[in-house]
Amino acid sequence: MSIEASAPPQLAAVAHVASCRLPTPWGEFTMHGFEEVAGTREHVALTMGDIADGEPVLARLHSECLTGDGLFSLRCDCGFQLQAALEAIAREGRGALLYLRQEGRGIGLINKIRAYRLQDGGADTVEANEQLGFPADMRDFGIARDMLDELGIGRVRLMTNNPRKLQTLRDAGIEIVERVPLMVGRNPHNDGYLDTKAAKLGHLFHGL
């Protein structure tokens, strides 16, 4: 009698390592720390309310943007989106924000500064990345699937303007039941940036 070998179990990309309280201007969240199993990056998630009850969870997958999130840059809409997402979760009393450490759409902080310099010279955000030898977007959202699994979240209502992110997440096995627009932060400094994201990356900014 032959015995068929079973496929080895797929290892998670991240491990949940710690949790704590995190009071914010929008309310008290629980902050969860994750480490990549086969890498050096660390990621966090902020959650509020009962997120493991099987109902769709209002969620945001937010890629790190030091300039927008921490230094209040007006060159992008990242900081505005981060704050709006936390406010929306607090308003519902339930949700999750995954903060992924992939600065500059994956090219890193120093290369992002180099890209900004090219944009100062007339390149748009996509051209700048490509002139540096990178794809327009290098982000990996596969780690989000494992973070959501660790948090007990099976279905999400995703706050995003990026339809490509929706498809990437669905391909990674994340069930998305609704896209929730997150249209905030347009200003004279990021008009061209947002227009390029719409024209070249397919972002949806209707009404912004």
Pick the catalytic residue: 77, 124, 139, 145? 139
Residue 99 — φ and ψ, nearest 5°? -105, 105
125 annotated as belonging to a binding site for a ligand: yes
Question: Smallest Cα–Cα separation from 82: which of 165, 159, 152?
Answer: 159
Read off the amino acid at residue 141: F
The verdict on whether 171 is a catalytic residue reads no
200 annotated as belonging to a binding site for a ligand: no
103 annotated as belonging to a binding site for a ligand: yes
54 annotated as belonging to a binding site for a ligand: no
Pick the catalytic residue: 69, 77, 124, 137? 137
165 annotated as belonging to a binding site for a ligand: yes
β pairing state of 95-100 and 57-63: parallel
How big is the CA angle at 178 (ends 174 and 180), to the nearest 5 degrees? 115
203 annotated as belonging to a binding site for a ligand: no
112 annotated as belonging to a binding site for a ligand: no
β pairing state of 95-100 and 42-48: antiparallel
32 annotated as belonging to a binding site for a ligand: no
The verdict on whether 124 is a catalytic residue reads no
CB 45 within 8 A of CB 149: no
Read off the amino acid at residue 86: L
Binding-site residues for GTP sit at: 60-64, 81, 103-105, 125, 160, 165
Residues marked as binding for Zn(2+)? 65, 76, 78
For the annotated binding site, the residues are: 60-65, 76, 78, 81, 103-105, 125, 160, 165
By annotation, the residues acting in catalysis are 137, 139
